[in-house]
Amino acid sequence: MKRVPAFLALFGLVACAGNQSVLNPAGDQARSLASLLGLATWISGIVYLLVLSFLGISLWRARRALSVADRPSVEPSDPAMRRTLILWSGLIVGALTILIVASFLVDRSLADARSREALQVRVTGHQWWWRLQYRDPATGTWIETANELHVPVGRTVRIELGSADVIHSFWVPNVAGKMDLIPGRINVIDITPRRTGWFRGQCAEFCGLQHAHMAFDVKVENQAEFQAWLAGQERGASAPGNAVLAQGAQVFAVKCAACHVVRGTGAGGRAGPDLTHVAARRSIAAGTLPFSRGGLQGWIAQPQAVKPGTLMPAVALAPSDADAVARYLESLR
């Protein structure tokens, strides 16, 4: 390893810091895939170096030979040549067989259900955001949120993937491989995170103008934190605590409720993300902006400037109303 060139080592360091990297696995499935990638890189790297060295040697020998007549002539029927050909063919077939078997075994291990009591989560892709629903094991009801996936560490989570419009792809490289979200069917991916922390998920199938801004935050946390978070998500929104928040709630009910749910209020629109606990999330507009009051105000005033093509329409609001709505959303923890 000491002889790995410096620039290659640099790639390694970049990967170590990555919260969106296949080379920094934080879950069983990602670890299997990273090992497969490592094996494939070693085998193809060795073959590549061998081919280049033999090419170099033969060029060097050809230059040394003074004329064509001086070059050794090798016929395929020559026993030495035949042995060499058999050896090389054997090496290539052997290397490819190793890769095929390893790839098959990794694929099978990914498809294996690790636990029958997996936590059940539904993810629905929308242009360009993620609807997330958690099955409450106690009541069997579904708890909805959006754009921020929380999962407990050390436990298998079974994620059912569907789409409301076009094909998307669910990808949290630190935790597992990709799986497509296809309209009209449900795909399933199991993830078993092994390390706590924040990671980044990204839509990995081109799905229109804002495909690049279809991201989500992933928090792997311990079981107690996760339970507390889920219980918080299950609750309805808290009532506005002062006059400005009440004004914001009122404007929201008139201007925003047709598309957004805020549980515990009359707002029940299903076109956009559930905002019951929007202020508990790290980002807005599916990873487009960090969460802040200013970000909310900019997003509400000019969604087409922040995320051109988004289905969120620009809503004309008086400045005091826009401020009140942003403050109200900021209070929805």
| Positions that interact with ligand CUA (CB under 6 A) | 125, 128, 168, 203, 205-207, 211, 214
To the nearest 10°, report the CA torsion of 85, 86, 90, 92: 10
Q: What span, in angstroms and rounded, lies between the C-alpha atoms of 12 and 28?
A: 20
Residue 265 Cβ vs ligand CUA, minimum distance, rounded to whole Å: 29
Ramachandran class of 168: left when φ > 0, alpha when ψ lies in -120 to 50, beta otherwise? beta
Residue 130 Cβ vs ligand CUA, minimum distance, rounded to whole Å: 9
Residue 205 Cβ vs ligand CUA, minimum distance, rounded to whole Å: 5
Residue 169 Cβ vs ligand CUA, minimum distance, rounded to whole Å: 7
Provide the strand spans (E) within 88-214. 119-126, 129-135, 142-146, 148-152, 157-163, 168-170, 179-181, 187-191, 197-202
Q: Which is nearer to ligand CUA, 204 or 317 (CB)?
A: 204
Q: What is the DSSP letter of 212?
A: G
Hey, what are 56's tokens? 């170099």
Residue 105 Cβ vs ligand CUA, minimum distance, rounded to whole Å: 30
Hey, what are 6's tokens? 């410096």
User: DSSP 3-state assignment of 95?
Assistant: helix
Q: Which is nearer to ligand CUA, 11 or 206 (CB)?
A: 206
Residue 124 Cβ vs ligand CUA, minimum distance, rounded to whole Å: 11
Q: Which is nearer to ligand CUA, 150 or 168 (CB)?
A: 168
Q: Which is nearer to ligand CUA, 153 or 207 (CB)?
A: 207
Q: Which is nearer to ligand CUA, 149 or 257 (CB)?
A: 149
Q: Where would I find the H helices in 132-190?
A: none
Residue 170 Cβ vs ligand CUA, minimum distance, rounded to whole Å: 9
- The answer to whether the CB of 166 falls within 8 A of the CB of 208 is yes
Burial 60-83 (b: 16+ CB within 10 A, else e): eeeeeeeeeeeeeeeeeeeeeeee
| 146 Cα distance to chain centroid | 15
Q: Which is nearer to ligand CUA, 160 or 234 (CB)?
A: 160
Q: Which is nearer to ligand CUA, 50 or 186 (CB)?
A: 186
95 CB burial (10 A radius; 0-12, 13-18, 19+): middle
